[in-house]
Amino acid sequence: MAAPVLLVRRPSPELAKGLLTHISDDRASLSTGLASQQWLEYTNVFRAHGWDVREVQAADECPDGVFIEDALLWLTDLSEKADQGPAIILMNTPAPSRAKELSTAQACAETIATAHGAKLYSLKEIGGSEAHLEGGDVLKVGRVVYVNSGGHRTNEAGICALRSIAERIGYSVVGIPIQGALHLKSAVTALPDGTVIGHMPGLQAFFKPYLQVPEPEGVAVVHLRPYEALASAHDEKAEAHLVMSSSAPRTTALLESLGWKVTTTDVTEFEKLEGCVTCLSVRCRPGSRS
Ligand X SMILES: NC(=O)NCCC[C@H](N)C(=O)O
Nearer of residues 165 and 279 to ligand X, judged by Cβ? 279
Q: List alpha helices for the chain, DSSP H.
A: 32-47, 101-116, 123-127, 156-166, 184-187, 227-231, 236-239, 249-257, 268-271
167 in a known ligand binding site = no
258 in a known ligand binding site = no
Could you give phi then psi for residue 208, rounded to 5 degrees? -140, 125
Could you give phi then psi for residue 220, rounded to 5 degrees? -95, 115
Q: Which of 108, 132, 183, 199 is catalytic?
A: 183
C-alpha 163 chain-centroid distance: 18
Q: Is 67 in the site for ligand X (CB under 6 A)?
A: yes
285 in a known ligand binding site = no
Among 7, 89, 159, 182, binds ligand X (CB under 6 A): 182
**Any bridge partners for residue 49, and if so which?**
none
Residues 93-112 interacting with ligand X (rule: CB under 6 A): 95, 98
**Any bridge partners for residue 121, and if so which?**
89
96-130 burial: b if 16+ Cβ within 10 Å, else e: ebbeebbebbbebbeebbeebebbbbbbbebbeee
Residues 31-50 interacting with ligand X (rule: CB under 6 A): none
Among 18, 65, 127, 218, binds ligand X (CB under 6 A): 18
Please tell me the distance from the alpha carbon of residue 30 to that of residue 28, in angstroms, as a whole number.
6
Residues 240-279 interacting with ligand X (rule: CB under 6 A): 273-276, 279
110 in a known ligand binding site = no
153 in a known ligand binding site = yes
279 is catalytic: yes
Q: Is 176 in the site for ligand X (CB under 6 A)?
A: no
Could you give phi then psi for residue 210, rounded to 5 degrees? -135, 140
The nearest distance, CB 115 to ligand X, in angstroms, is 24
Residues 199-238 interacting with ligand X (rule: CB under 6 A): none
DSSP 259-270: T--EEEE--HHH
Residue number with the smallest Cβ distance to ligand X: 136
* Cα–Cα distances in angstroms (integers) from residue 242 to residues 134, 163, 228, 268, in the given order: 23, 28, 15, 18
Question: Is the backbone of residue 121 left (phi > 0), alpha (psi -120 to 50) or beta?
Answer: beta
The C-alpha R_g of the chain, in whole angstroms, comes to: 17
Q: Is 64 in the site for ligand X (CB under 6 A)?
A: yes
Among 124, 140, 183, 199, binds ligand X (CB under 6 A): 183
41 in a known ligand binding site = no
Residues 114-173 interacting with ligand X (rule: CB under 6 A): 136
132 is catalytic: no
Which residues contact ligand X by CB under 6 A? 18-19, 21, 64, 67, 69-70, 95, 98, 136, 182-183, 185-186, 273-276, 279
Residues classed as catalytic: 183, 279
Which residues fall in the annotated binding site?
A: 20, 64, 69-70, 98, 153, 273
Which residues fall in the annotated binding site for substrate?
A: 20, 64, 69-70, 98, 153, 273
